[in-house]
């Protein structure tokens, strides 16, 4: 457990996707009551903090990332009082709490947006969003050529003829951060949750808040300039303002530094580092590492570039293998042709060797935990769960599925509810044996429940617990690459060495005492797709 004020610099943070973690009331949907009942799992696992995906009041057009009320909890998850109790119980266990905040957009059912639609063109209410008249003879064309990340135009027309911009689904109108009312509102939202004891915020689409002046067409820009609704210079003033608020709370309670974690996609290394300057965000997700295929040269390059970019501003890197938007690591790494990931091609249905993917996922877990900085664990990765790719199409709930015209199957496969116990669904996810989870679980998960893996020395759960218990020994020691074959990633931090063999032949290990291995050794050597930790 990290106890220093700067706990976040080396923390292991576990992502809870509330709909799918644990169901406390038997309705088949995860909730706060279920989370509270399973906090012991996270304490025993050995993480330092929990990041909760959105639980706010929401119509659930995008699984809660369409927020109708930032100061209340959706009834499907419970009540604000239950959340306050959860925060206190987590703190009692030594677990810090990070909550998602969604500042780029809200729900079309948010009171502000309903008022904007009703108020009409040119109103102060519409100035909180990006409303524009259409183009064409009768305004029948969108204001510009911006596209939604979920497919189709980024503009939706309202009955009076104006359009509003949404980077994602039409039910998620983008807020206008050039409007002081928006700025002040989020100041207050941050304070609302900080006053309830949260230790930080994960910022959804942190790079997307500010839009370029004039909302220029993408087609009018010089190639390579980047999208005019991402990574605009004005975003940094927002985070400087937010950092001052967090620092104010930290100053009042120095043992509990409040932190921000940015979801930042797109900038080059220097642009990425600008978000992590001492007066802005504390850390950010490492998508380059997450997207990287299981290939030694490319991984080494990503690791070096990550460390170099963060060193520019003295920020700690983070290492991420999975999250709620990405194909699960055991499935990705089991694909024989390409093991990387891209939002533009999820490679749904490409054959995957689960045994191979699991072996690589075990090795990657130890590799990521040995690197300097913080590490994230997405719920279920500690159980070795795979992407559920055979969901019936009529059960899919991700808006990507509809927006793409049923050509992109979306993210539901990594959001299937967790298996906790028993030998048939709902696998202890719900307290009622006949409860149907909101997405169906594979029958084969009976061997992957937390109960089945508990105490099994060869299980993924046992490996994660052991690695997270040893990991603090790396501390904040710098990283030095060791001489090794090209297919081997070997480095030392303090008195610990990590060796990951991504080649086909077994790799020799340096002198030292083995403290943990992701799989059995072969005559004292690391077989293919195996990571070994040694103490020297």
Known catalytic residues?
204, 248
Q: Which helix (H) or strand (E) holds 19?
A: helix 18-21
Q: Cα(213)–Cα(219) distance, rounded to whole angstroms?
A: 15
Cα–Cα dist 508/499, whole Å: 9
The one-character DSSP state at 109 is T
Instruction: Record the tokens describing residue 151, joined without a space.
Output: 């497919």
- Report the SS3 class of residue 130: coil
Counts for the chain of helices (H) and strands (E), in that order:
15, 18
For 267, half-sphere exposure in the C-beta direction (CA atoms, 13 angstrom radius) is 26
Rounded CA gap, 153 and 354, in Å?
37
Nearest Cα to Cα of residue 463 among 342, 381, 344: 381
φ, ψ of residue 308 to 5 degrees: the values are: -70, -45
d(CA 57, CA 446): 33
Backbone φ, ψ for residue 318 (5° rounding): -125, 155
Distance CA 10, CA 230 (A): 29
Q: Longest C-alpha distance within the chain, in Å?
A: 77
Strand order in the sheet with 163-165: 131-132, 163-165, 155-157
The H or E element containing residue 87 is helix 80-92
- Cis peptide before 481, with omega less than 30 degrees from 0? no
Dihedral Cα 449, 286, 261, 112, nearest 10 deg: -90
How many residues are there in the chain? 536
Is the distance from CB of 310 to CB of 270 less than 8 angstroms? no
The two three-digit tokens of residue 169, written as one number: 């689904």
């Amino acid at each position: 457990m990290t106890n220093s004020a700067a706990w976040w610099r080396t923390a292991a943070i576990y992502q809870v996707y509330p709909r799918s973690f644990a169901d406390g009331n038997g309705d088949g949907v995860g909730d706060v009551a279920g989370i509270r009942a399973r906090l012991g799992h996270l304490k025993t696992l050995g993480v330092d903090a929990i990041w909760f995906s959105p639980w706010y009041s929401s119509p659930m057009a995008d699984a809660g990332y369409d927020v109708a009320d930032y100061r209340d909890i959706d009834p499907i998850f419970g009540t604000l009082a239950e959340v306050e109790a959860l925060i206190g119980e987590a703190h009692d266990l030594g677990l810090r709490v990070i909550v998602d905040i969604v500042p780029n957009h809200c729900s079309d059912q948010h009171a502000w947006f309903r008022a904007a639609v009703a108020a009409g063109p040119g109103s102060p209410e519409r100035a909180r969003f990006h409303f524009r008249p259409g183009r064409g003879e009768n305004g029948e064309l969108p204001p510009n050529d911006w596209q939604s990340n979920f497919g189709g135009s980024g503009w939706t027309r309202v009955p009076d003829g104006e359009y509003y911009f949404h980077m994602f689904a039409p039910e998620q109108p983008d807020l206008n951060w050039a409007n002081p009312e928006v700025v002040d509102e989020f100041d207050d939202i941050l304070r609302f949750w900080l006053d309830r004891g949260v230790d930080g915020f994960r910022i959804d689409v942190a790079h997307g808040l500010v839009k370029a002046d004039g909302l220029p067409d993408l087609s009018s820009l010089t190639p390579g300039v980047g999208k005019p609704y991402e990574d605009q210079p004005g975003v940094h003033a927002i985070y400087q303002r937010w950092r001052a608020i967090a620092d104010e709370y930290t100053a009042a309670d120095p043992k509990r530094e409040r932190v921000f974690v940015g979801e930042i996609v797109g900038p080059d290394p220097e642009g990425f580092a600008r978000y992590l300057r001492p007066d802005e965000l504390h850390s950010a997700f490492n998508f380059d590492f997450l997207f990287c295929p299981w290939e030694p040269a490319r991984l080494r390059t990503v690791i070096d570039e990550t460390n170099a970019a963060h060193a520019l501003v003295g920020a700690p890197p983070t290492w991420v293998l999975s999250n709620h938007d990405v194909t699960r690591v055991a499935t990705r790494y089991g694909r024989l042709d390409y093991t990387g990931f891209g939002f533009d091609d999820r490679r749904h249905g490409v054959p995957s060797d689960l045994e191979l993917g699991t072996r690589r996922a075990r090795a990657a877990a130890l590799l990521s935990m040995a690197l300097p900085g913080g590490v994230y664990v997405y719920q279920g990765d500690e159980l070795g769960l795979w992407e559920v790719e055979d969901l019936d199409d009529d059960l899919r709930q991700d808006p990507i599925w509809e927006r793409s015209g049923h050509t992109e199957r979306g993210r539901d496969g990594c959001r299937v509810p967790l298996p906790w116990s028993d030998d048939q669904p709902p696998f202890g996810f719900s307290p009622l044996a006949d409860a149907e989870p909101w997405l169906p679980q594979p029958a084969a998960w009976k061997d992957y429940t937390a109960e089945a893996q508990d105490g099994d020395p060869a299980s993924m759960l046992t490996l994660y617990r052991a690695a997270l218990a040893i990991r603090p020994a790396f501390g904040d020691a710098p990283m030095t690459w060791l001489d090794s074959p090209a297919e081997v990633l070997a480095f030392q931090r303090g008195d610990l060495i990590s060796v990951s063999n991504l080649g086909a032949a077994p790799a020799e290990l340096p002198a030292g005492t083995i403290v943990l291995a992701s799989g059995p050794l072969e005559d004292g050597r690391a077989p293919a797709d195996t990571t070994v930790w040694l103490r020297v």
